[in-house]
Structure 1
């Protein structure tokens, strides 16, 4: 519920002032913690931008992270985001602590740690943060007063989150029910609304939960429903808002969900606390579990999208920031509020819907297991507890989905009998674990629909995967070895006719395998690696096979070579592309004719990504400008070989709204926009590398609303020069009475 938390920070600016005063009072001293307390935990991490704007450029390093209820030092996600530390996920606690101290050495840092549950957790965190006398600050949020006192040097350092006032409570409620803070509540139910707000006690989570529940009952005739909800809220909430009272409100929201959405919400209990959930993966899980009902005229994925949107509108699920990954593209994500997750776990365990082991669920006992989720902590040391309470001692014959959020997955695989008892399994998620070998017995999972082994240490898959005739999604990647970032397609691929999504598969020298790809008629998303030296006859067959994948929407072709040489992509000109293709990505040298003929036929193309193409002249924009549905081209590493790239007046780009250019080596040196070019462009993103680079003619982009610059920390001059130009452009906009540009800058 980030939107809810953002509103809370806006209506309670005292928190920002409090932390900044503490910063000024202790200037020059070591790292000082400033805890905040409240019910429920306010999510201080969302207030970091406010603090950052107010403190200017004094802070040189910043990060935020949520604390686990059973914390280990080995969770450096926030620092990972800031400093891009390699291999952080595989570090043990000692190495991670040493790396953290090294990263923050001689830096003034601002760190936000959200939702600390115990003094022991704070002690474990504090001991690895350096006290370097640089005036650093640590902001801690907690629901427990004794923890707040343990984190602070004095009571004046503690900021107690205040409840919303009557006016702000009403604004928040109206915005959720009627879509606007100025929305009018019908007079027939206004008195009930006031009583509901009083019972919510100014707690944003309570207000949003109830408002989302009532959003479908806006008419005066709905008074009875409003009164039912009013009676369901505990009377003690008004004067003594407590966590238990909040839980009752969350339960109330859940109880009023349609039956099919209740199952989808309970399924979220498989994820650990504060886990960032990729939306597409969640929807595929729902489908694989049979939680999405068929509807005439709609694909199951479209029905699942509707479920997701309804849960978001009811504030049961909160949208999160997109994740951009190099090989998987942009992934939309979501989160579940901690308290919502607590309720879902309780409901799931009561209904035996999900079985959880490891972490805070250590020692729980289950008889019949259908959906098994293994969290951190279920490792080889669990032998002390009864066998029935561990993965090894469970009856797993009825398990339909297995998800691991535990790094040491190889221990668990051996203790689960290497799949021999998991015959009913439909969903297998081993993503992020340390497995290096997938047992050939995986081919016996005849009901398996989804196999996710991304970010593991696998260097291939057993040939028995071709026995998985019901498999719809196969996702593979190696955690740290680029050249093992794919799996070689075996003979027998034609048997996997249910496949809809496959990534990081390589086709080498087998003509039969290249031919079998054409028989995967349901395939909608494909990432395929092709060696630059692929035999001519294999390349011709593969080209023909790709042209026959009529359902294909996303195609990523990667050439295993960085050299500017002829390769498989040069052969695409001889065939027609799949006409429904909307999201192609090409990584490899392209000839001018190839781009002109093949890409120019993609009339349904919406986004286009290209890298290592070494294009010259006007070829690129001449082709792309004629595509009727192209909205977002992304031009990546070595896409261009000339020193200047020009968007011409004659290049119309009928619907293009976003352009992203991330080249390297300082080429092209000039990005030029002629008058009248790209008339509908709203967002321009450019990454500056070494050398002198510049943008010429940005004033000709008449519809531009946002500019995003990315630069190198050690070479800020290029970006700063461009920022000066944008300031002048904004001054001109102001004089003309037009909207000013939003400018975002990030250094790596």
Structure 2
């Protein structure tokens, strides 16, 4: 409980510090109350820091006091954010301040009411501080400073080496059923010399964990590796507990490992309490929720680190320590796409949160409301009741079971969205709701969104995969909004043009549509006209730029110096391409991902013209300043208008480019060879119209780091050949045939499988026949016996394949 309370107080202190810096704007007398609250909460925060380092359990009296501190921190945070909301104009400058004066005058009564609440809050803070002394809740003794670390354990290579040692331990145990010398290899890689100081103790613990609790022993070794300040005394204490509680070895080991997490990492792990029933959890969604809830802090010495990068570090740490395990990974390498928790870890998280009065004693208000809203949405009727039911996934709207819009049912009960709105209307004035995820919810109307837009504290709003069609202008009231997700919706495109959200970091939109067998389009929303005011924007994809607005809107995008991911949809005129390339050049230092969809042909496409992402004049364009840190590139031209066989020459200089997806680019064999020379390319997706020739051949020395190759209905008849020493790290090949034609596979259709030394899986999708059983014979002769996956028309073409990742994925 001390961990979560400390996080709440820490967040409040940052807000109070900012308020004091702007005290000249506050109503008279309030700044003194705020200073008093800050000083008191600062002292309480120091006390809580001591509590988080205690090894003893917190008694009931201490837990009750910490719950009071946590509640008052949330209330103070809510009051301060509401008070400061209307004090700052959304723009800087004298005229912006003049335009903001009506808002200041209009909100004077509301701010006076909040000022009175702050004065009452001051008295309450004083009472909580005196109550600690009155009941003898004393400050624990400070722990001695940890000893310095002799080994460098922070590098990814050292961690990978340690994890490989643990994998050997697991493999040896599975094959022999007894511990092997591999345990010693893992122990010797610990960051301090435990083999000498506590080798005997670790051996005793190993005896109690192996063979029945191998995973517990691995988790313990991970904790000892990640926390470089462990002591022999702590391990002896753990051994004593295992002797006394032999039947509960996994739980005692997890308690020990949990104690080695930092305060904020504990809070992030406790946050998963709200999602214990989910089959999988999206990494990006989880990290953004952590940030929205204020659970993430930057690492010391990394002032330039973004909050989302800090959240990624927290996620990776929880995975490394074994509390969270990978469910799916991206095609480009080891990066985790989604995760879940083992049943034993789930039970532990429940127990630890209950013991810290996080669940059993009542959830904090902002979590409590989130859970209630989730349960309401979860209870909606299913559209197809005959289908096998699966848990509704709060993290990913695509995993939600489709819902039917419903009005009041026969029993007179309200539609779930009406219940949600009713609950939101009953929120107390100073209440904050940071996260609202309605992904997969049907029956969501504009009137519901108007009510949602009155909850001004929302930082994360997901309408993904809902049937919402209009976005009210009241969306601009959500001035704290950081993430707006409207993917897989039929939202009116112009509804986003009027969005002005100064704190917006992620705008996610777009839905792929297939019209017949040939045309694949991306429907999405328009670019916000004043996107330049959202200077914190990091992700902007996918947004449409209309002709006549390309230059002014892209000029604003060029000023977003924190933009990491950009996805645009526009027509293919020469001027449009020129403006786009100029913008990309301006973002060369920050851009990591780029997606460009050309929706209409250039004016002279029928007279020999074409589309290519290159400035032919070579001036004032991307050639002089390419996006040198670009990692992902997605290109789709209007069908039949690309310059055949050509790739923008600046692609060859992208040393960090790891993922490429092409549509309708009419790539030639020479273009494929250019891609093969990219040093960092791990994932290549060739979709419909991306390649012009009948043969795809990976030559010797090409694609040195390629791991995933997708060939999706490129042309009716095609042959694939892998020469010796081509793509030495290729692990997975997915080949999707034209669904209108039966594919006959025979010798030579796909050749050189034996040359792919790292191949693990071959997936063939479509209507095909292997006349000579050639594929199975080739895989059987492969030294690693790759897996063959097959999908046929009756099942494959009813929906997206397992390998297909939406263009709007982030």
Q: So what's the TM-score if we normalise by structure 2?
A: 0.58
The farther-off stretch of 417-426 and 543-552 is 417-426
Distance (whole Å) between structure 2 residues aligned to residue 388 and residue 672 of structure 1: 58
1:224 aligns with 2:238: no
- State the partner residue of 2:273: 269
- The alpha-carbon deviation at position 223 of structure 1 amounts to 3.4
**Long gaps (5+) in structure 1:** 1-163, 364-371, 731-738
1:687 aligns with 2:735: yes
- The alpha-carbon deviation at position 535 of structure 1 amounts to 4.8
1:422 aligns with 2:455: yes
Name which of 569, 573, 576 aligns with 1:529: 569
1:507-586 alignment, distance < 5 Å = 507-509=545-547, 510-511=549-550, 512-531=552-571, 534-550=572-588, 551-560=590-599, 568-569=611-612, 571=614, 573=616, 575-576=621-622, 577-586=626-635
- State the partner residue of 1:354: 367
Distance (whole Å) between structure 2 residues aligned to residue 360 and residue 547 of structure 1: 43
Distance (whole Å) between structure 2 residues aligned to residue 634 and residue 623 of structure 1: 15
Question: 1:248 and 1:430, CA in 2 relative to 1: closer, same or farther beyond 3 A?
Answer: farther
- The alpha-carbon deviation at position 265 of structure 1 amounts to 1.0
1:633 aligns with 2:637: no
Report Cα offsets for 1:502-524 as digits up to 9, x if no partner.
11211121232233322222211
Distance (whole Å) between structure 2 residues aligned to residue 688 and residue 362 of structure 1: 40
Distance (whole Å) between structure 1 residues aligned to residue 210 and residue 244 of structure 2: 9
1:742 aligns with 2:786: yes
1:111-510 alignment, distance < 5 Å = 178=187, 190=200, 194=204, 198=208, 202=212, 212-214=222-224, 222-232=231-241, 235=244, 238=247, 250=254, 253-271=257-275, 273-295=277-299, 296-297=301-302, 299-300=305-306, 301-322=308-329, 332-337=337-342, 338-343=346-351, 346=354, 348-349=358-359, 352=364, 354-355=367-368, 356-358=370-372, 381=413, 390-395=423-428, 397-404=430-437, 407-408=440-441, 418-460=451-493, 462-463=495-496, 466-478=499-511, 485-509=523-547, 510=549
| SS of residue paired to 2:680 | coil
Distance (whole Å) between structure 2 residues aligned to residue 596 and residue 447 of structure 1: 39
Question: 1:505 and 1:586, CA in 2 relative to 1: closer, same or farther beyond 3 A?
Answer: same
Distance (whole Å) between structure 1 residues aligned to residue 415 and residue 691 of structure 2: 58
Distance (whole Å) between structure 1 residues aligned to residue 775 and residue 316 of structure 2: 40
Work out whether residues 692 and 718 of structure 1, in 8 Å CA contact, stay in contact via their aligned partners in 2.
yes
Work out whether residues 238 and 252 of structure 2, in 8 Å CA contact, stay in contact via their aligned partners in 1.
no
Report Cα offsets for 1:694-740 as digits up to 9, x if no partner.
6578549756221533224642427943332343x43xxxxxxxx44
Distance (whole Å) between structure 2 residues aligned to residue 391 and residue 249 of structure 1: 42
Distance (whole Å) between structure 2 residues aligned to residue 624 and residue 361 of structure 1: 49
Distance (whole Å) between structure 1 residues aligned to residue 498 and residue 200 of structure 2: 61
1:669 aligns with 2:718: yes
- The alpha-carbon deviation at position 195 of structure 1 amounts to 6.3
Work out whether residues 644 and 665 of structure 2, in 8 Å CA contact, stay in contact via their aligned partners in 1.
no
- The alpha-carbon deviation at position 567 of structure 1 amounts to 5.6
- State the partner residue of 2:15: none
Distance (whole Å) between structure 2 residues aligned to residue 193 and residue 619 of structure 1: 60
| SS of residue paired to 1:403 | strand
- The alpha-carbon deviation at position 525 of structure 1 amounts to 0.6
- The alpha-carbon deviation at position 584 of structure 1 amounts to 0.9
Question: 1:520 and 1:229, CA in 2 relative to 1: closer, same or farther beyond 3 A?
Answer: same
| SS of residue paired to 1:497 | coil
| SS of residue paired to 1:569 | coil
Name which of 752, 758, 762 aligns with 1:709: 762
Work out whether residues 459 and 484 of structure 1, in 8 Å CA contact, stay in contact via their aligned partners in 2.
no
Work out whether residues 553 and 582 of structure 1, in 8 Å CA contact, stay in contact via their aligned partners in 2.
yes
Question: 1:460 and 1:192, CA in 2 relative to 1: closer, same or farther beyond 3 A?
Answer: same
Question: 1:610 and 1:401, CA in 2 relative to 1: closer, same or farther beyond 3 A?
Answer: same
Work out whether residues 743 and 767 of structure 2, in 8 Å CA contact, stay in contact via their aligned partners in 1.
no
Distance (whole Å) between structure 2 residues aligned to residue 691 and residue 388 of structure 1: 53
Question: 1:536 and 1:705, CA in 2 relative to 1: closer, same or farther beyond 3 A?
Answer: closer
| SS of residue paired to 2:509 | strand
- The alpha-carbon deviation at position 345 of structure 1 amounts to 6.0
Distance (whole Å) between structure 1 residues aligned to residue 679 and residue 182 of structure 2: 42
Question: 1:187 and 1:578, CA in 2 relative to 1: closer, same or farther beyond 3 A?
Answer: closer
- The alpha-carbon deviation at position 585 of structure 1 amounts to 1.3
Q: Which has the larger radius of gyration?
A: 2
Distance (whole Å) between structure 2 residues aligned to residue 427 and residue 227 of structure 1: 45
May I ask how many residue pairs the two structures share in their alignment? 550
Question: 1:527 and 1:540, CA in 2 relative to 1: closer, same or farther beyond 3 A?
Answer: same
| SS of residue paired to 1:621 | helix
Distance (whole Å) between structure 1 residues aligned to residue 260 and residue 438 of structure 2: 31
User: Which has the larger share of strand?
Assistant: 1
| SS of residue paired to 2:488 | strand
- State the partner residue of 1:73: none
Work out whether residues 639 and 663 of structure 1, in 8 Å CA contact, stay in contact via their aligned partners in 2.
no
Alpha carbon RMSD of aligned pairs, Å? 4.7
Work out whether residues 581 and 613 of structure 2, in 8 Å CA contact, stay in contact via their aligned partners in 1.
no
- The alpha-carbon deviation at position 476 of structure 1 amounts to 1.8
Distance (whole Å) between structure 2 residues aligned to residue 640 and residue 226 of structure 1: 60
Distance (whole Å) between structure 2 residues aligned to residue 331 and residue 412 of structure 1: 35
Distance (whole Å) between structure 1 residues aligned to residue 565 and residue 352 of structure 2: 32
Distance (whole Å) between structure 1 residues aligned to residue 185 and residue 291 of structure 2: 29
Work out whether residues 424 and 452 of structure 2, in 8 Å CA contact, stay in contact via their aligned partners in 1.
no
Question: 1:463 and 1:581, CA in 2 relative to 1: closer, same or farther beyond 3 A?
Answer: same
Distance (whole Å) between structure 1 residues aligned to residue 667 and residue 222 of structure 2: 51
| SS of residue paired to 1:600 | helix
Question: 1:237 and 1:647, CA in 2 relative to 1: closer, same or farther beyond 3 A?
Answer: closer
Report Cα offsets for 1:672-699 as digits up to 9, x if no partner.
34455x2634335140414345657854
Question: 1:396 and 1:647, CA in 2 relative to 1: closer, same or farther beyond 3 A?
Answer: farther
- State the partner residue of 1:79: none
Question: 1:661 and 1:257, CA in 2 relative to 1: closer, same or farther beyond 3 A?
Answer: closer
Work out whether residues 419 and 441 of structure 1, in 8 Å CA contact, stay in contact via their aligned partners in 2.
no
Work out whether residues 392 and 416 of structure 1, in 8 Å CA contact, stay in contact via their aligned partners in 2.
no
- State the partner residue of 2:695: 644
- State the partner residue of 1:622: 673
- State the partner residue of 1:613: 665
Question: 1:622 and 1:288, CA in 2 relative to 1: closer, same or farther beyond 3 A?
Answer: same
Report Cα offsets for 1:481-521 as digits up to 9, x if no partner.
87663111132222222111111211121232233322222
- The alpha-carbon deviation at position 202 of structure 1 amounts to 3.9
Question: 1:629 and 1:463, CA in 2 relative to 1: closer, same or farther beyond 3 A?
Answer: closer
- State the partner residue of 2:75: none
- The alpha-carbon deviation at position 333 of structure 1 amounts to 1.2
Question: 1:561 and 1:278, CA in 2 relative to 1: closer, same or farther beyond 3 A?
Answer: farther
- The alpha-carbon deviation at position 465 of structure 1 amounts to 5.6
